[in-house]
């Protein structure tokens, strides 16, 4: 029971530090992502009918994989690959889109791990406290910390990836826990996005 209370306290503190002064920015970013995803989806449907796009599904999944890989290779600076992923889910199978996106994102996270492993990670002072939290979680909870940071977007996965490298955590375990955390998160993002895309599409085309 004491361990559960400690976990809840640690999680609350981590979320507080991660969102302090940035909650409004996070909401604005979320709204922007949805707007761009809808716009991108409409452009795809305008220039390439859905029936045609379905014929090139294998290339679509490969594109989702590459976008997710590249977008998670950037350290701290966000590259919103989720815009393309959500738009793709409105065309191809949402589950497969989520699966390949999660694999790509897990592999992309190895960049931060590699920097931490090689001792080359340099963070600006504004990120020091958030990294300290990630490092503390990694030290005490190992793989579960990787899973949790991959699952909850505001915790910023880059920090726990760097910490995992610093602690010389096994790279294959790092990838496995990254994928296990990323998949349910991506499924939630993709299916929610797909529902919104369908609603907006019907609203403007009926």
Identify the residue whose tokens are 């890989």: 69
Q: Are 109 and 155 in contact (CB under 8 A)?
A: no
Nearest to 204 by CA among 54, 45, 84: 45
- Count of structural domains within the chain: 1
Place of tokens 């797909």: 194
What's the rounded Cα separation, in Å, for the pair 55 and 70?
Answer: 25
Q: What is the pTM (predicted TM-score) of this model? A: 0.80
| Tens-digit pLDDT profile for residues 177-201 | 999 999 999 999 888 888 887 777 6
Q: What is the pLDDT of residues 73-130, one digit of tens each?
A: 876 555 567 777 887 877 888 899 999 999 999 999 898 899 888 876 666 556 678 8
pLDDT, one tens digit per residue, over 24-59 is 666 666 676 667 767 766 776 666 666 555 665 677
DSSP state of 80: -
- 127 is in which domain, residue-wise? 2-205
Q: What are the angstrom distances between the C-alpha of 186 and each of 40, 54, 100, 106, 183? A: 18, 21, 10, 11, 5
Q: How many helices (H) and strands (E) does the chain have?
A: 11, 0
């Amino acid at each position: 029971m004491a361990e559960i209370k400690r976990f809840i306290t640690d999680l609350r503190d981590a979320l507080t530090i991660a969102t302090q002064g940035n909650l409004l920015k996070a909401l604005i970013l979320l709204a922007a992502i949805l707007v761009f995803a809808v716009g991108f989806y409409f452009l795809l449907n305008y220039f390439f009918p859905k029936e045609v796009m379905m014929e090139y599904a294998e290339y679509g999944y490969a594109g989702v994989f590459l976008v997710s890989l590249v977008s998670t290779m950037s350290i701290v600076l966000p590259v919103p690959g989720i815009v393309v992923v959500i738009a793709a889910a409105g065309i191809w199978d949402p589950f497969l889109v989520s699966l390949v996106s999660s694999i790509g994102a897990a592999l992309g996270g190895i960049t931060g791990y590699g920097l931490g492993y090689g001792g080359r990670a340099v963070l600006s002072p504004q990120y020091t406290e958030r990294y300290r939290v990630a490092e503390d979680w990694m030290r005490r909870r190992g793989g579960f910390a990787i899973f949790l940071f991959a699952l909850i977007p505001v915790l910023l996965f880059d920090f726990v990836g760097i910490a995992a490298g610093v602690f010389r955590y096994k790279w294959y375990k790092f990838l496995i826990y990254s994928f296990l955390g990323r998949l349910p998160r991506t499924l939630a993002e993709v299916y929610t996005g797909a529902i919104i895309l369908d609603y907006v599409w019907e609203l403007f085309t009926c």
